[in-house]
Amino acid sequence: MSLVLNEEQNMLRDAAREFCSKTSPVTAFRKIRDDENADGFDRAIWKQMTDLGWTGILIPEQYGGADFGFQGMGVVMEECGRTLVASPLMSTAILGASALNICGSESQKSDLLKKIAAGKLLLALAIEESAHHAPFKISTSAVKDGDNGYLLSGEKQFVLDGHVADKLIVTASTGSDTGISMFIVDAKAKGLSVERTSMVDSRNAANISLKDVPAELLGLEGGAAEALDSVLDIGRAILAAEMLGGAREAFDQTLAYLKEREQFGVVIGTFQALKHRAAEMFSEVELSQSAVMGALSALDEQSDDAPALVSLAKSRLCDTLRLVTNEAVQMFGGIGMTDEHDIGLYMKRARVCEHTFGNAAFHRDRYGVLGGY
């Protein structure tokens, strides 16, 4: 297991850092939010991300991708986390592409993965049906319609980028004997209703209603449970990398503020109590980096320990990002509570990331179960 980036991964990280800082800084995110952008992201910036090849990082070369691995996508998302980049990268190029990689037929991969890599298709994964992460508690039903088709009925919540997706990947129950299946649904299909909603961090989500919606089976009927867990583990590990980027940026901004803010004629960074708190933040961020790299490396190596390491990374980043952003807002004092200052945006992002794909409690429990406890 490698916990050190290789030369190519370092080059990708440096390129991603330059792009995010120059092309999509926090000011770009503020503009999307303040303008109430209908898409929730900048299509011009998304086109540039596609041109850089980011949409093809997890896609095999035969389908137009780079097949650069999970560590590669992780370094990109870490830099996106630093500047709060708003894009459909997670929903389309990570979750959607992974579902197709794992479950798709040759014709589905050839058609859809090529479009994702070229930036011509947006996907969204529709799995949640309650306020808490419970991917296998599914009420949405699928019944056969003729020889090859299915009709889906049910409700899905918290669908990332669901309102801009061209196609949805939906989980549904095909009966008590067959279990969970995944389906591809066209966003313009009859019987599909999509209602956009906005989360506390101003990111995209949607609530989706399906009533006898025609769908195409993705993978084997009733065989989606294990595949869905694999797709979610990929999303969890890469989201943890994004959270690591946010934690690093929040810490860096806080450290800079401690070195310049004065009280009673003294720089507050010289106060012993604040030094101790800053040291704890630094230590937690460094430990979290090892956890994230371990999870991503395990996924790349297809290790049997990958699920446990992913849950370890996600639970740790939930705690670390909450700690760092809370401390950051407190150390900034009154200005940290204002919308004018960026640090509060990282706290809001922390809260959403914490509950996406399972919070710390969910993953501690999962880690224990995987360990036989």
Every domain of the chain with CATH number 2.40.110.10 lies at 124-223
- Nearest-angstrom CA–CA distance, 197 and 189: 20
Asked whether the CA dihedral 87, 36, 353, 131 is positive or negative, the reply is: negative
Amino acid 260 reads E
What is the CATH architecture assignment of 7-120? Orthogonal Bundle (1.10)
Kind of pairing between the strands at 123-126 and 167-173: parallel
Every domain of the chain with CATH number 1.20.140.10 lies at 226-370
- Nearest-angstrom CA–CA distance, 283 and 327: 14
Kind of pairing between the strands at 266-267 and 262-263: antiparallel
Determine if the pTM surpasses 0.95: yes
Can you give the pLDDT of all 373 residues of the chain as single tens digits? Answer: 667 889 999 999 999 999 999 999 999 999 999 999 999 999 999 999 999 999 999 999 999 999 999 999 999 999 999 999 999 999 999 999 999 999 999 999 999 999 999 999 999 999 999 989 999 999 999 999 877 789 999 999 999 999 999 999 999 998 765 589 999 999 999 999 999 998 999 998 999 999 999 999 999 999 899 999 999 999 999 999 999 999 999 999 999 999 999 888 999 999 999 999 999 999 999 999 999 999 999 999 999 999 999 999 999 999 999 999 999 999 999 899 999 999 999 999 999 999 999 999 999 999 999 999 9
CATH, range 226-370? 1.20.140.10
- Nearest-angstrom CA–CA distance, 41 and 44: 9
Q: Which class does domain 124-223 fall in?
A: mainly beta
Q: How far apart are the first and last CA of the chain?
A: 25
